[in-house]
Every structure is written in C-alpha cells, then in structure tokens.
Chain A
C-alpha cells in the first residue's frame, strides 16, 4: 500500500482523485453506490451568487466517445447552498470544494466572500471557463487580462486555497495559467469543456437549445493531457488535471504529465463508482512499479 496523500497548497488530500464540478452533484447523489468519503475531494456544482435556471432543454448531445452539455450553471445560488445543501454534505469526510462562477467580477467576489469563513469548505474553484453562459464564465477565461482581473479581485477577499479552472478554448493555455498564477492563484485545474456543436440533419436543426455546448469525455483526453503537460511545464503552482479520465491508467497519465491531482467528470455518469476504482487502480500501479508515494509519479514523464 503506497502513500496516496497529496497536498495542493494548503489543501490536504487523502488521495489525488476528486470529482469534477457538474458531474457529481453534491456527492450525496452517489452515496448509494459507494462511500464517497474515500475519494480525495468533491467539487460541487457550479455555484453563482443568485439562483440560475440554466439553459432550456435539450441540454445534452451524445457524441463519439463523449458528450456535449449546455446546462448553463443551473443552481439555486450560494445562500441556498450554504443554508440547505451544506448541512447535508458537511458530514462527508472529504474535501468539499465549491466551484464558483459569476457574470461580473463583483458576483465572483461576493460569492467567494460568503465561502471564506465556512470551515467545511477548504477551497474554491474559480470557474472562468464555462462555455455555456452568455455573460461571464468563459468570457473571463479566454483573455489573460480578464482572467488576471477576476483572479486578482477574488484573491483580495478569499483567504483559503484558490483554484482557478482554465478554459481550453484559447490559443495558448499556458499564458492564461501564468497570468492567473501572477495574480495569486494557488493552483489551476484544467481543462473545462471544449466548445463544440451537434446537428440533427433530419430536422436541419441544432441538437442543443444553445446551438453550441461543452464537449467532455474520452474524446477530449488527448487535448487535455497535452494542455496539462504544457501548463505544468510553465507554472510553479500545482496543476489539477482533468478531461476524459475513464480509469486509473488515464489518471496516471495526467499525473505523469505533471498533474498533482486529478478530477473525474463525465465517467461518473457511466460508472458511478469509477472514482473509487481509480483510487484503487492508482494504488495498484504504485505497488506494481515500486513507488512508495503517489507524489513520485507527478511529472515523472520521461521525454
């Protein structure tokens, strides 16, 4: 049994396997299937200052080896989360991390401030990369200037671990990563979904109500892996990798590329127990290769 503990800045993980925002609800949705406290952390659904209804149905299209979604950050707002959801998740013995989104910098600030003093929430993931909302979201994450502005503003008010979730819909993701690092991000997570589209040729109409949506699943894994490798070679802060991870081998690839921890997203829909299988699979790998600690494989890619 290897040591699976990992620290992402001040954030202590019992293992590097976490679940991605928007794919794991608030954790309780999966409690019938396995003991969710065994994973390193749960990134809860994208949360905004106020209640959001999200985009109209249809919001999902299956694609070869993946799916497009256009949920559009449906959530009941930060106050509802704190008052009604937090009490039900606070006994889950793992890191509960809130994915924070907003339409304006002030919304990001206000939401982050509300989470500052909540003991159960050791970190927030700043979502500057949602491709499914008209204002905010990805608009912040696709230019160095606006990404830096929002991170700077939130950093001023938020004291705990600040993770910034990056968009892959950019020319050079390393530049954005460097920009948010310079403004005080403690770590970066990547990739959010890739902007994509699906068409129903019989109806001559787009499948999604929003026309475009975010692509996820194994279809995006090679791109995600490349971006994690590029960013890990550019910044000094820890990188959390994600994008199409379906099993332990995929997770290990991301860590070899330089990720200190990983998130599992779309795979949760197909096998709700996948995350715990990945934890066990990483442990098997470490034992098989004679590693004492999972930290030994971070960035261990031999190029």
Chain B
C-alpha cells in the first residue's frame, strides 16, 4: 500500500475524559484506503520534548464523511499537545503504516474482539469493517474503572458489547479474560489489543482453546516504516519489525506466547 505524508485538518477534537481525546481529522482531498489494524506516525509540533513522531492506531475511518479518527491517551507532553489541538489546525501524519487483521473465512465464524485501555482503538475500525462484510462480533472491553471504558456507543453499533472493570463500576468485575462470556462461548477467531499483560492473558486463553488469535502490538518505534529497526519483537522467524511485519501478529508466531 502506498504511504503518504499529509497535513490533515482537525475537524473536531472531542475530550472523552481527562485521559483521552478523540481527534476527528479530515482532508481537502479524498483519504487513501486504510486497513483495520494500521496506524499513523504523528508529528507533534510545539512540544520541545517530543522529538520523534508518535505511532497512533487508526481508530475509525468514515470514507463518506472523509474522516480519520485517532484515539489519543494522554501519557506525556506529545499526547498532551495532541489533545489540545483545535478545530481547523493541522496534524502531519505518515500513513497508512503496518499490516492489518486477518479476515475470518466464514461469515458464521464466532468472533471475539478483546480490548483494554487505549488498545480498543484499532478494534473499533476492525469491528465496523467486519460488520460491513456481514460478520457478527462479540466485543469485550475492559478497564480499571468505568472512566477507562471508551466509545461504548460506537462499539455497540458493530457487535454485542460486554465490559469488565477491575473495580466493578461497569459490567463484570475483574479482567477481560475473566468475563463469563469467555467461559460460556466457543470462538473461532480472537483479536486483541491492549496492555501487554492483558494480551498475554488473552493469548493464553486462545492457546488453551486452540483458537486463532491475533494481537496488535504497540512497541516504541522511531520511524514506523521499517528503516530504523527499533521496534522489533522476537518471533519464530527472529526479530521482526512491529511497524512493517506487524503491528498485528498471530500469537503462534510470537516468542512471548511460547
């Protein structure tokens, strides 16, 4: 897929809570095709401590409205600056980068999406993509408390949504992998993105059930397109770049699963 460097225009910057912002970007030209699971390298201006671009998952694409959504968790100066962008300002993106999730073979496949924290970002676009193609998804979203559960209304459009919180403030109490749905249903395809311990727990569940499972990794990176070799993960084929071979990996390929 051809990669672009574009100044996108901030159409709307929605503060979801004190930790998360949703940036809705648009362009004067038609946005290029982007696959679910791909990401952008975002240049953060006016932030002296932010030297490198920030890899951010594509949260959602609305081709009709020519919108690209980025879900931003405020973790440092760079993401803080991104959360302060105003409508009409521009943001420079290198995109689309990376691979995408694998489409299930049969329409009646039992599909589970598991997301935690800002890791839910790529799953929204993936959920919409699956729904558009006639697949049905079960979606389990987890967070420390209800404040960490984001975009529930959006996810509800694309599948059956279940939640867990560690403090029990929303949905079932506990971790995503402890949700009763995982005990009662059998799945054919599992896709997950979130904190590494969560993804490892999901991968362990999938391995035990012998289920196809893909994880989306978020290693720190410098370039985002395979030049610097900084973001590698250890796999059965040796060190592979998360930015070009991933970010989506089948768990059978990852060393941390074995």
Contacts and interface: CB of A to CB of B under 8 A. Distances in A.
Interface in A4-51: 22-25, 29-30, 32-33, 45
A63 B220 CA distance: 13
A231 to B, nearest CB: 27
Interface stretch (B47-55, B159-167, B168-176, B208-216): B47-55
B226 A25 contact: yes
B232 interface: yes
Interface of A is mostly: loop
B227 A60 contact: no
B227 A64 contact: no
Nearest to B232: A57
Where chain B touches its partner, the secondary structure class is loop
Contacts of B133: none
Contacts of A217: 51
Given A69-B230, A269-B228, A270-B43, A62 B5 contact: no
A266 B50 CA distance: 14
Interface in B98-139: none
A160 interface: no
A63 B222 contact: no
Interface stretch (B61-69, B177-185, B233-241): B233-241
A237 interface: no
B221 interface: yes
Given A25-B227, A269-B53, A269-B228, A60 B5 contact: no
Given A60-B220, A63-B51, A33 B228 contact: no
Interface in A92-120: none
Contact of B53 (A24, A54, A65, A270): A270
Contacts of A45: 229
Contact of A53 (B94, B221, B233, B239): B239
Contacts of A194: none
B4 A60 contact: no
B240 to A, nearest CB: 10
B231 A74 contact: no
Contact of B232 (A74, A266, A268): A74
B191 interface: no
B234 A56 contact: yes
Contacts of A69: 222, 228, 230
Contact of A74 (B221, B227, B239): B239
Given A217-B51, A272-B94, A57 B231 contact: yes
A152 interface: no
A58 interface: yes
A217 B52 CA distance: 10
Contacts of A66: 51
A24 B223 CA distance: 10
A59 B53 contact: no
Interface residues of B, number: 30
A65 B233 contact: no
Interface string B1-36: 011110000000000000000000000000000000
A60 B232 CA distance: 10
A67 interface: yes
B225 A29 contact: yes
Contacts of B226: 25, 29
B219 interface: yes
A24 to B, nearest CB: 6
B4 A32 contact: yes
Task: Output the residue of A29, A45, A53, A269 with the most chain B CB within 10 A.
Answer: A269
Contact of A60 (B2, B49, B94, B231): B231
A273 interface: yes
Contacts of A225: none
A23 B221 CA distance: 13
B225 to A, nearest CB: 6
Contact of A65 (B2, B3, B4, B51): B51
A227 interface: no
Given A32-B4, A63-B51, A66-B51, A57 B234 contact: yes
B230 A71 contact: yes
A269 B43 CA distance: 10
A140 B220 CA distance: 31
Contact of B51 (A59, A71, A268, A270): A270
Contacts of B239: 53-54, 57, 74
Interface of B: 2-5, 43, 48-53, 94, 219-234, 238-239
Top 6 closest A-B pairs, CB basis?
A60-B230, A269-B223, A25-B227, A32-B3, A269-B222, A29-B227
8 contacts: A25-B226, A54-B239, A57-B233, A59-B231, A62-B50, A63-B51, A71-B228, A71-B229
